[in-house]
A and B are shown apart, each in its own frame.
Chain A
Amino acid sequence: KAGVTQTPRYLIKTRGQQVTLSCSPISGHRSVSWYQQTPGQGLQFLFEYFSETQRNKGNFPGRFSGRQFSNSRSEMNVSTLELGDSALYLCASRGTAGNSPLHFGNGTRLTVT
């Protein structure tokens, strides 16, 4: 079974620009979550989608948004980029059983200059 796939692996953007990151979950997984990871803050929850609906949202500004498609693939968008948005963005999918763990992709390393 293929794992969670994220594209691109690396991105360099300048302040004020916007960016779209993509995530393909493990086949059969309908839940996709997004996390931001920085050295100082650790893994911070952004949002979770299930069957194209946002089920949960973390404490991030409205510049961070996401969506999920009917094939469970997900995208997240960050508009008006700030220097502080530089981070590793991780996508994770999981099954529906209560003990299903999150399965992470390799992440997208975003650098904002």
Chain B
Amino acid sequence: GQNIDQPTEMTATEGAIVQINCTYQTSGFNGLFWYQQHAGEAPTFLSYNVLDGLEEKGRFSSFLSRSKGYSYLLLKELQMKDSASYLCAVRDLATDSWGKFQFGAGTQVVVTP
């Protein structure tokens, strides 16, 4: 999606922390979602933010600042199985009341031993 930006790739070592940033521009913001996608598999839902602040789910946390059009996904205690693409998606009510999802191009996270 041309209105959603995230880094293309990030590399980190096992046990470390990685923060994936996502910036977006939309006039009808109605929620931000993070997905994980392993190669050759379907994206799976990780987290959802609609209000400002931090949402924590085990090793994964997601933060949102609506005024800045900014979110990040924090992956702690990295494991080899966390090597995947992480997709940022915004639900946009500007186009219609049901809300269309727009996806970023994804950030490939590579975890090294």
B87 within 8 A of A: yes
Main secondary structure of the interface of A (DSSP, over half): strand
Q: Are B30 and A43 in contact (CB under 8 A)?
A: no
0/1 interface trace, chain B 71-113, chain A, CB 8 Å (1 if under): 0000000000000000101000001101111111110000000
Q: What CA separation (Å) do A75 and B71 show in the bound complex? A: 34
CB-defined contacts of A55 to chain B, threshold 8 Å? 96, 98
A45 within 8 A of B: yes
CB-defined contacts of B7 to chain A, threshold 8 Å? none
Q: Are B101 and A33 in contact (CB under 8 A)?
A: yes
Q: Are A42 and B104 in contact (CB under 8 A)?
A: yes
Which of A11-19, A66-74, A77-85, A95-103 interfaces with chain B? A95-103
- Give the residue of B30, B45, B95, B106 whose beta carbon is less than 8 angstroms from that of A102: B45
Q: Are A56 and B95 in contact (CB under 8 A)?
A: yes
CB-defined contacts of A56 to chain B, threshold 8 Å? 95-96, 98, 100
CB-defined contacts of B106 to chain A, threshold 8 Å? 42-43
Interface size on A, as a range, is 20 to 34
Give the interface centre of A4, A42, A45, A50 by most chain B CB atoms within 10 Å. A42
CB-defined contacts of B42 to chain A, threshold 8 Å? 4, 90, 104-107
Q: Which chain A residue shows the least CB distance to B47?
A: A101
Q: Which 8 residue pairs spanning A and B have beta carbons closest together? A: A42-B105, A104-B42, A43-B103, A101-B45, A106-B42, A104-B43, A56-B100, A55-B98
